[in-house]
Chains A and B, each alone.
Chain A
């Protein structure tokens, strides 16, 4: 039963050692927070207001007493809780009154947290592959240098062609083309810059998402509970 799986996150803790270890890092993709209920609002009324938010495609949700559990595989972007795949929402009595306590789990946050590492890996792979290609090219060049005919042939190819503009372009004032540069080795040099830029971008996006998404969820829950 899907509801029971998510309920386990909230109500049935794992054995102490495992649970304790995970608690140190699960803030990366878990969000735990609460929103106070408006004065006079009953638990049932509050959950009646929240439950329609979960009437989404691919979502299974179950209400037992004062608790709602939900789960889904891949929520669509139009879903108001699209960042979170699993969650438990319950009404708790506190010293300040009743409040909606929630525990949401986001694979998207975890994925984004891990992406910088993946892209650093892509960068390293790019460098390794580039070096391999350069070694191959060097070996080929050496082999060819032994063959005089091929050397002459490649020299002919290397001779820069004289490129000319069409008279119309000359008349309109477009700059004349330059001779192509002979040294193409610099172009072949492998670069991991793109991978590292994406790595930094995902690190930044994770920080933004870790603050933005809980804030948005809190705002949406509060709006659902208070709106007439």
Chain B
């Protein structure tokens, strides 16, 4: 495979990656289907923004957001069934159970752990130590600007954490299990070692004060933009959207079996951050995973960072001496 030059890098030399929007297939089918899958993303995005902007206070609350979130995810699962991007990514019963196990962990045990050592606790501790109140610089700004700041500040932190995971071995060991997925669908964002899910959820937004409605508006970026990074649906996504936001196309490149391609598209929502730092690759890939595309079991996902970390320490300080990273942990390092 020759690959395609993108900046200083050759993308797709080890595994097929389609580079360039002009080379991607369009939605196929009748006029209604093409219309629906062309307009679905922008219409739901702006409709939900308008809803949260104008909803009365007794409706604009977290419980409503949870209800909308669940309903929207079920709808997206149906869309994955109706118009899959790739047949090879089609959800199976076993994948659904596995994915929901990780989603369930996030809603239960991880949330509980987060209550003890999460970013809210850390920030609260720092504020207590320095007798700091929240920085209320932003509460007077227009709501949509506040929502953008909440989303962008979090994503900016996530970008560097994610990029760090691909460049520093100890962090990579926590993130590697997530790269063993060989298909993408909306629940795949939850698949990974709990340590990684904890790290990627850390943010500094808690230092700042925003209006409650701005948080609900910011949630729209999560629900109607970043959720698409793992979806198995073919959309005719508008070019302005692809320029600003992360998409399934970008994220499939990041999950590709091509090593160089995995080192791109690190942001969760705002792909423009990748454009700012020169790590964006516009394109898509079907063949995903690492280590030849083998599946990582739930058990291995849970112990991988610790067993591989222990192996790396033994290799470095053991009798043989000299650092040699475990072979299985090399690909995306």
Residue of A nearest to B87 (CB): A78
Chain B 33-59 near chain A by CB (<8 Å), digits 1 or 0: 000000000000000000001111100
Q: Which of A94-125 contact B (CB under 8 A)?
A: 108, 111-112, 115, 119, 122-123, 125
Most chain A CB within a 10 A radius of its CB, from B60, B92, B296:
B92
Q: Is the pair B107, A194 in contact by a Cβ cutoff of 8 Å?
A: yes
A165 within 8 A of B: yes
Residues of B within 8 A of A122 (CB): 104, 108-109
A75 within 8 A of B: yes
Q: Is the pair B112, A129 in contact by a Cβ cutoff of 8 Å?
A: yes
B293 within 8 A of A: yes
What's the least CB distance linking A53 to chain B, in Å? 15
B294 within 8 A of A: yes
Q: How many residues of A contact B (CB 8 A)?
A: 45
Residue of B nearest to A76 (CB): B295
Most chain A CB within a 10 A radius of its CB, from B88, B104, B213:
B104
Segment touching A, from B16-24, B136-144, B162-170, B302-310:
B136-144
Q: Which of A122-163 contact B (CB under 8 A)?
A: 122-123, 125-126, 129, 133, 161, 163
Q: Is the pair B97, A112 in contact by a Cβ cutoff of 8 Å?
A: yes
Segment touching B, from A11-19, A33-41, A63-71, A204-212:
A204-212
A178 within 8 A of B: yes
Q: Is the pair B182, A177 in contact by a Cβ cutoff of 8 Å?
A: no
* A166 and B56 contact, Cβ closer than 8 Å, known pairs A78-B182, A174-B213, A194-B107: no
Residue of B nearest to A205 (CB): B97
B94 within 8 A of A: yes
* A77 and B182 contact, Cβ closer than 8 Å, known pairs A163-B139, A194-B108: yes
A174 vs B56: C-alpha distance in the bound complex, in angstroms? 9
Q: Is the pair A208, B140 in contact by a Cβ cutoff of 8 Å?
A: no
Segment touching B, from A2-10, A20-28, A195-203, A220-228:
A195-203
Residues of B within 8 A of A209 (CB): 93-94, 97
Q: Which of B54, B93, B142, B300 contacts A175 (CB 8 A)?
A: B54
Q: Is the pair B143, A174 in contact by a Cβ cutoff of 8 Å?
A: yes
A83 vs B302: C-alpha distance in the bound complex, in angstroms? 20
Q: Which of B264-310 contact A (CB under 8 A)?
A: 292-298, 300
What's the least CB distance linking A83 to chain B, in Å? 5
Residues of A within 8 A of B140 (CB): 164, 166
Q: Which of B112, B182, B300 contacts A125 (CB 8 A)?
A: B112
Q: Is the pair A198, B297 in contact by a Cβ cutoff of 8 Å?
A: no
Chain B 136-155 near chain A by CB (<8 Å), digits 1 or 0: 10011111000000000000
Chain B 169-180 near chain A by CB (<8 Å), digits 1 or 0: 000000000000
Q: Is the pair A57, B294 in contact by a Cβ cutoff of 8 Å?
A: yes
Q: Which of B114-168 contact A (CB under 8 A)?
A: 115, 136, 139-143
Q: Which of B94, B112, B212 contacts A108 (CB 8 A)?
A: B94
Q: Is the pair A205, B143 in contact by a Cβ cutoff of 8 Å?
A: no
Q: Which of A108, A123, A133, A172 contacts B108 (CB 8 A)?
A: A123
Q: Is the pair A75, B295 in contact by a Cβ cutoff of 8 Å?
A: yes
Residue of B nearest to A206 (CB): B97
A168 vs B213: C-alpha distance in the bound complex, in angstroms? 15
What's the least CB distance linking A192 to chain B, in Å? 8
B96 within 8 A of A: yes
Q: Is the pair B56, A205 in contact by a Cβ cutoff of 8 Å?
A: no
A112 vs B95: C-alpha distance in the bound complex, in angstroms? 11
Q: Is the pair A175, B94 in contact by a Cβ cutoff of 8 Å?
A: no
Residues of A within 8 A of B96 (CB): 205
A213 within 8 A of B: yes
A189 vs B295: C-alpha distance in the bound complex, in angstroms? 39
Residues of A within 8 A of B94 (CB): 77, 82-83, 108, 209, 213
A-B pairs, top 9 by smallest CB distance, nearest first, are A198-B104, A74-B295, A122-B108, A194-B107, A74-B297, A166-B142, A76-B295, A108-B94, A168-B142
Give 10 new A-B contacts, CB below 8 A, not counting A115-B104, A168-B142, A169-B142: A57-B292, A74-B294, A74-B295, A76-B294, A77-B92, A82-B94, A172-B53, A175-B54, A175-B60, A177-B213
User: What are 19 A-B contacts defined by CB distance under 8 Å?
Assistant: A57-B292, A58-B295, A74-B296, A77-B94, A83-B92, A108-B98, A115-B97, A163-B211, A166-B140, A175-B55, A175-B56, A175-B60, A175-B213, A177-B211, A195-B104, A198-B107, A202-B101, A205-B100, A209-B97
